């Protein structure tokens, strides 16, 4: 499963925290019934990466190489969950992150829902419904 967003607007200097992207297996209707979330890493049953170079998934957060604080308007961020359970992020078509979620092929049987957190420098994005992995 794949989705892509385009950064439409940024503010401030290219340092500090950046946006986060990922997936959850919890449908929006159920999320709306839960207490509010301040950030994407608080969304239950989710796999996200970003902020200051962190991945949140099964278990404790861990450091990763992708730090989205330097994103600029026009940058495209693709998010992919492979049938084998690999979580990948693409920046302008180049793979910048690949994490084994530990779910294996079972993730292919679950519905996935996009998670995007505009914390930090990125102020606005648009979804590209025609994007393909």
Q: Work out the mean pLDDT of the chain and round it to a whole number.
A: 89
Share above pLDDT 70 across residues of the chain, in percent, rounded to a whole number: 95
Report the predicted TM-score, pTM, of the whole model to 2 decimal places: 0.90
Residue 46 DSSP SS3:
strand
DSSP labels for 58-112? Answer: SSS-EE-S--GGG--TT-EEEEEE-TTSEEEEEETTEEEEEEE-S-GGGGGGS--
The confidence band for 121, taking pLDDT boundaries of 50, 70 and 90, is: confident
The pLDDT value recorded for residue 124 is 95
DSSP 7-35: EEEE-S-S-S---EEEEESS-HHHHHHSP
CB under 8 Å to 4, separation ≥6 — which residues?
76, 77, 78, 79, 90, 127, 128, 131
Arithmetic mean of pLDDT, 89-118: 89
If one compares 43 and 124, the residue with the highest pLDDT of the two is 124
Tens digit of each residue's pLDDT (9 = 90 or more) over 27-49 = 888 888 888 778 888 888 889 99
Inter-residue contact 89 to 64 (CB < 8 Å): no
pLDDT reading at 58 higher than 80: no
What is the predicted pLDDT for the residue at 14?
A: 64
Q: What is the mean pLDDT of residues 95-118?
A: 87
């Amino acid at each position: 499963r794949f989705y892509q967003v385009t950064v439409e607007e940024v503010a401030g200097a290219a340092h500090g925290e950046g946006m986060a992207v990922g997936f959850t297996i919890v449908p929006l209707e159920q999320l709306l019934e839960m207490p509010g979330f301040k950030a994407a890493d608080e969304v239950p049953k989710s796999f996200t990466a970003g902020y200051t170079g962190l991945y949140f998934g099964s278990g404790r957060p861990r450091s990763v190489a992708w730090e989205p604080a330097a994103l600029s308007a026009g940058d495209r961020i693709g998010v992919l969950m492979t049938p084998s359970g690999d979580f990948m992020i693409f920046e302008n078509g180049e793979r910048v992150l690949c994490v084994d979620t530990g779910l294996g092929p079972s993730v292919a049987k679950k519905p996935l829902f996009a998670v995007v957190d505009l914390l930090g420098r990125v102020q606005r994005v648009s979804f590209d419904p025609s994007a393909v992995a």
